[in-house]
Structure 1
Amino acid sequence: MLKSTFLSVACCLFIGHHAFTQCIAGGSNAVAPYASNSSNKGVMFDITATNTVTISCFDANLPALSVGGYEVYFKTGTYVGFETNAASWTLLGSEGSLLSIGLNLATPISVPVNKTILAGQTYAFYITASNPILSTGVLTTTNSGYSAITSNSDLTVYGGAGITYPFGTVTANRAFNGTVHYILGDPLPVEFLDFTAVKVDQSVLLEWETESEHHSDYFEVERSLNGIDWNRLLTVKGAGESSVKEIYQKMDDNPLDGISYYRLNQYDFDGTKTSLKTISFNNKVEIGENDIRIFPNPIIDRFRVFGNQSELETLKVFNSVGEDISGSLTMTCHEGFTDVVFKDQVEGVFILKSKTNSQILIKK
């Protein structure tokens, strides 16, 4: 264990990416008009449930011929008053290279949402481009005040507001153009947060996180060379009943060469199977000199930093007023990654700086 102003680390290379994610759009849809006359980097909107619904995923109106990265966030309650408060939002997932289907057409955003909204409850969502090349991320329609964008017997979509990435300038009265895919009721056995694959020496560390579990028997990780033909790689016992965050870790000690795919499934005690997420992994890609990765983020009590060893030699963490708090952090170095204890920090936004890079940290 090590504690110092400079968080010296001994990490191996991070090799991998989320080039392929999966969202199964099933059940019912609520469609907001695809009638763009405005655009923003991102858009926030509220969904209020009349009946209990589980949001599966979204389609959005994206600029024609555009290719870029996108992120999806959520928070309980309305977005109003929290547009620039990054600590109030939780990242659901990202898609690294999304190709627009065309102007005023529905482009699927393959980030699984899987959030249940009880009858009478409101959740806020934020869909945004993350690629700095895309000055325009999503297309919107001007509206008059905070009003209903679309509604049916199950839910109503309200809002919204245009946002500069990540949580910057707010442009009011910008209505979401898109489709809400949802299922009636609460069919999900787990509230799922993320699934990642990270190179550790000659192996691959598979890590996933749940926020709660109900009747959760076990998890299954499948592996595929082509994304079509799958073989079971491993299984891990689930938590059964849990209302706290659970983190699962397993190693693939014999990863396939080149690009392969990992699929995470969950099984109930009655044998019901739910596919949670599919990711791709490239066993041959070399990391860039200034690439670093943080997991999880937002942070509850600790996070891990992956990256090039030379890039991580002088890690520093700054709080929201610019103070260097690195000396107060406890770090544990492992082979291939470093744990940083963050549980004693207040909720809010922090900045992690490496040799040539910096990233936002969000403490929940």
Structure 2
Amino acid sequence: MNIIKTIVFFILTCQSFSVLAVTKTYVGASGGDWGVAASWTPAGIPGPSDYAIIPAGITVTVSGNQTGTHVGFIEIRGTLDLTNNGKLTVVDGVHIVSGGGAVGNGNSDQLRVNNITYSGNEITAIPEGTTGNSGAYPVTLAGFELYVQGESVQLKWQTSEELNFSKFEVEKSSNAVSFERIGNQNSLGIQIYSFVDENPFVGNNYYRLKMVDLDGTFDYSKIITINYEGEDALIVYPNPSESSVINVSGLYDSEEVMLYRLNGQRVEFDFLESNNGQLQITPKEKVKAETLILRSNLNRSTRVFTF
């Protein structure tokens, strides 16, 4: 009997502003200045109704007074660094994701969030989660997951709250920057939704949900990703997988698999085979938060992401 474990990739309380919001993601070099319009996509410094995202591993610097350019909301996955009399005003709130943070280097550095001013070390001490006004949420996601099934990618998400909510628009990208709409799901009340992408890209596929309220205002979910190796690839599900169990299907008769780290080191494992030829692999050593290669004796392979 197969054991399929549900992985909840992201839980995000999504923001929604009183006017039409635009999500702007910083795409400049790490350490670059907030006030450079070309460093954001779509181009332009985030404005008072915009939702700004600082990606993981990226530092965005505010040096000097940026209070004249208010931003609606900031999601910090990387680092927001205020320095040299750096000042920034956020109309609604700041959401710090695990691993991200804000830094104040001196008392003259100030981050004003929803009419409350944080200076110096107070900025650095802002905790993970949402600070300030979290806004009115037309919908709240309780989970969002992806997995490969055959030649398609399956999307599933669950809501825990829907208020005056209209629909989801499913968007896909090959680079996490330029997205296209591939489908819609009308609001059906609090429940589990699903969608099938019948034409995934070979390689990385990035997905997000555009959540549209009845009055036309909208916001986006977090971006999540999955790697699709093509129709002849080994199938690992879910992927990313928990480090303790990796499920494999799509094997031919007499096909055997080996597991490797990216440096070529082999990872030994125990396995349990079901009647239909599917495998449940249990690595004998810790493989948490790694990218592994699953390869077979028929020269088929796929990447396995663990957490």
Q: Relative contact order: is structure 1 or structure 2 higher (C-alpha 8 Å, sep ≥ 6)? A: 1
TM-score by length of 2: 0.43
Whichever of the two has the greater Rg, that structure is 2
